Structure formats: C-alpha cells, structure tokens
C-alpha cells in the first residue's frame, strides 16, 4: 500500500535543522534555504502533523485588525478553503519521489511499478557497466526489470582510459559483468557522436552523445547512487550527462565547454555543464524518460573506479521519480540524514557537488523540492 512517509523523514529533517551534522550554507538541505526559511519549514512540518486550531485563525485575524469576537463560521470556512486550495496547488507542482528500503529484484520491480509508467517502442536501459572491481549494479538485482522491459542496456565509452575506453574492450567488460546474458548491449558511441542542442546553459551550447542515442524511443535511467572523485556524487543527472555523452562529449563536459583539458577546467563549470548536458537529453526525449537510483554499496568512489573505497555507511534503499533533480536531491538528503554518512558528505562538499543541483534547478531540468513517498507496507 502506498503511503506518504511522514514521521521518519520529519524526524530526519528536524535533526538536520537542529544542527545534527554541520553543513555549509549550500549544503544538501539547501532546498530548506536560509535560517528564516528553515524556521518556516519546521513550522510547515509541524502544521502538517498538528492541524491548526480556531485560536490560530483568531490570532491571524487579530494581526489584520479584526478581533477574535468578529470571526464567523464563514471566515473559518473561507480560510480552510483557501488553505486547502493552496495545498493542492503546491502538491500538484511538487515532484514525487518514491522510495523502498527493499534493495532486491522485487523491490526494484515494485519501485518501477510505483511510477505507473507505460513506455512503448524501443526501450533503452541506461546504466554504468562499471570498471572491473567496482560497485556496478549486479544482474541479480536488475535482471528481472530489464527483461520485463525487453530493454537494451546502453552505455558509452570512457574518455579517461581504463577497461572501457574502446568499444571492443567495453563489450568484453559488459559480458564479464553479466549484462550480455540478460539483454542486448549497445555501446552507443561505437559509431561516433550526434549533437544535441543545449538551451539556457551558461557553458554549453551543444552536447555530444552516442550516435545511437536517437535509436531508442524511451529511456529508463538506472543509476547506482554513490560518491565521485570529481563530481562529489553520481546519480541520475550524472547518468544522463556524462553517462550518455560519447567519449568526445565527456571531454567537452569536463572542460566546461571550452574544449581544453578535461582535467584542467573550472570545477564549477564542469558541474554546471553536467546539468546542462542532462537537460539537453531530457529536452530531446520530451518526457519519454524515467529515473531510478539504487542506494547500496555507498562508496565515496564511482563505479568508474576499479579500486573503490570500501563503503562505510549502510545501504539505504531504491528511489524513483520522473524528475532527476528531485531524485538526486532526495538521495543527497538521505545521506545527510544518515548517522554514518559523514564520509560521503565530505566527498560531496569537498567537490562542491551540490552546485550541480543548483544549476540543474536554475536552468529548468527539475526541482530540488519534492514529496518523498514510501511504497513499503
């Protein structure tokens, strides 16, 4: 049964707001805003759990110069109606992020079904095939979902060397990791790149993705949420930007659109370019895309690292949404709310990783505000 997961996440938010785990002003809970906005958020949470009384209405009326004695039942009804209408509008505009703590094949199927998606045509499942030895998504977890979609697993070559730097080696890694046993695999840039226009970007005007990108009608973005040595963290946004970019496109994003060294560009320009490249992908697909993040094996290092640091925090769950920004923000917030999330938090903040979310929201890729809904019974 679906239900809004209020109590545990209210506790987590209140813990964060009360100073549990120090964070800079642009922390993962920046969607809560300044101290004044944080106070307002606490009040909103409290009002959601403890509905207002007639005394609240009376006090509000006094502030407008109306005495409590003058309040009528019509005033009360009008106030309730206005509040209900405002709440409905806010809920309609707020993206939903579904969550389960069941990290299993069935849990993944359940979270996908919660989205009530109905993809048609040729379906691509975008994931990271991962370097040998990394924390890539295992086939015993994802196999049932991929096969139920009759999807093709898609990836692009790397731009940094490693075991997936050319197509032949990359297909070999995909086979060794079991992906070719559960689905067809397509290295989308084996025939080069195609160009997507970037609208509203501060760094990019074009994004270069694998030439086979346009061969698919619908994309299921299946990401392993984790840390990253350059981006701070990797989730849905990274998977549709760096992940779908061709080898050429990866270098373009890393350089912040300058065409220079992919290792020597501005950090913020790189983070912004990921958001901008991701938006070009989402714009091109025009709604034919959904996003799932798996929060297990939460190492500070990416699946592109063949010798990642051993995770030092517990698994959290699987989350899904139609909004990649809301999804990644929810995952980051859960890391900040975890008792053992300090290593991941340090990795995110040391790379200014939250700036990707800031830029993504700024250019219209999605919203950092969300409603978190548990699908667990």
3-state secondary structure labels for all residues of the chain = CCEECCHHHHHHHHHHHCCCCCCCCCCCCHHHCCHHHHHHHHHHHHHHHCCCCHHHHHHHHHHCCCCHHHCCHHHHHHHHHHHHHHHHHHHHHCCEEEEECCCCHHHHHHHHHHCCCCCCCCEEEECCCCCCCCCCCCHHHHHHHHHHHCCEEEECCCCCCCCCCCHHHHHHHHHHCCHHHHCCEEECCCCCEEEEECCCCCCCCEEEEECCHHHCCEEEEEEECEEECCCEEECHHHHHCCCCECHHHHHHHHCCCCCCCCCCCCHHHHHHHHHHHHHHHHHHHCCCEEEEEEECCCCCCCCCCCCCCCCCCCCCEEEEECCHHHHHHHHHHHHHHCCCCHHHHHHHHHCCCHHHHHHHHHCCCCCCCCEEEECCC
pLDDT per residue as tens, the chain (377 positions): 333 444 444 444 434 434 433 333 333 333 333 334 433 443 443 344 333 333 433 343 334 444 433 444 455 445 555 544 444 444 568 999 999 999 999 999 999 999 999 999 999 999 999 999 999 999 999 999 999 999 999 999 999 888 999 999 999 999 999 999 999 999 999 999 999 999 999 999 999 999 999 999 999 999 999 999 999 999 999 999 999 999 999 999 999 999 888 888 899 999 999 999 999 999 999 999 999 999 999 999 988 878 889 999 999 999 999 999 999 999 999 999 999 999 999 999 999 999 999 999 999 999 999 999 999 97
What does the block give as tokens for 36? 């004044």
Predicted local distance difference test score (pLDDT) of residue 78? 52
Predicted local distance difference test score (pLDDT) of residue 260? 83
Predicted local distance difference test score (pLDDT) of residue 348? 98
Rg value, the chain, Cα: 22
Residue at token pair 């110069």: 65
Q: Are 207 and 281 in contact (CB under 8 A)?
A: yes
CA atoms within 13 A on the CB side of 69: 0
Report d(CA 295, CA 103) in Å as an integer.
8
**This model's pTM is above 0.75:** yes
Cα-based angle 254, 223, 303 (whole degrees, multiple of 5): 60
Q: Are 292 and 375 in contact (CB under 8 A)?
A: no
Q: Are 116 and 148 in contact (CB under 8 A)?
A: no
Residues carrying CATH 3.40.50.11440, the chain: 97-374
Q: Are 239 and 224 in contact (CB under 8 A)?
A: no
Burial of 269 (0-12, 13-18, 19+ CB in 10 A): buried
Architecture of domain 97-374: 3-Layer(aba) Sandwich (3.40)
Residue at token pair 């051993």: 310
Burial of 57 (0-12, 13-18, 19+ CB in 10 A): middle
Predicted local distance difference test score (pLDDT) of residue 53? 35
Q: Are 146 and 125 in contact (CB under 8 A)?
A: yes
State how far the alpha carbon of 202 is from the alpha carbons of 151, 257, 271, in Å: 34, 9, 11
């Amino acid at each position: 049964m679906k239900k809004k997961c209020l109590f545990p996440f209210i506790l987590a938010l209140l813990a964060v707001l009360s100073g549990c785990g120090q964070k800079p002003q642009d922390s993962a809970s920046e969607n809560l805003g300044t101290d004044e906005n944080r106070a307002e958020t606490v009040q909103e949470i409290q009002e959601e759990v403890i509905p207002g009384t007639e005394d609240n209405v009376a006090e509000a009326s006094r502030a407008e110069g109306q005495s409590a004695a003058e309040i009528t039942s019509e005033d009360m009804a009008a106030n309730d109606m206005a509040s209900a209408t405002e709440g409905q509008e806010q809920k309609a505009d707020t993206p939903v992020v579904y969550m389960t703590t069941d990290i299993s094949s069935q849990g993944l199927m359940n979270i996908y079904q919660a989205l009530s998606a109905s993809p048609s045509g040729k379906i691509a499942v975008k994931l990271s095939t991962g370097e040998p030895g990394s924390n890539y998504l295992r086939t015993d977890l994802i196999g049932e979902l991929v096969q139920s979609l009759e999807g093709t697993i898609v990836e692009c070559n790397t731009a940094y060397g490693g075991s997936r730097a050319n197509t032949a080696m990359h297909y070999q890694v995909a086979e060794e990791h079991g992906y070719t046993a559960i689905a067809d695999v397509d290295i989308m840039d084996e025939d080069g790149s195609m160009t997507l226009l970037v609208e509203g970007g501060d760094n990019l005007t074009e994004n270069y993705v694998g030439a086979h990108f346009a061969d698919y009608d619908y994309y299921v973005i299946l990401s392993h949420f984790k840390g990253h040595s350059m981006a701070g963290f990797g989730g849905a946004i990274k998977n549709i930007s760096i992940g779908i970019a061709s080898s050429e496109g990866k270098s373009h994003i890393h350089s912040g659109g300058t065409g220079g060294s992919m290792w020597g560009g501005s950090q913020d320009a790189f983070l912004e370019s990921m958001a901008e490249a991701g938006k070009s992908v989402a714009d091109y697909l025009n709604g034919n895309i959904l996003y799932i993040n798996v929060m297990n094996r939460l190492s500070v290092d990416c699946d592109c690292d063949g010798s990642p640091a051993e995770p030092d925090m517990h698994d959290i769950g699987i989350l899904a949404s139609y909004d990649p920004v809301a999804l990644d923000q929810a995952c980051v917030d859960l890391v900040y709310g975890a008792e053992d999330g300090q290593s991941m938090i340090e990795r995110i903040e040391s790379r200014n990783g939250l700036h990707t979310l800031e830029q993504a929201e700024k250019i219209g890729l999605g919203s950092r505000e969300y409603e978190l809904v548990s699908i667990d019974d």
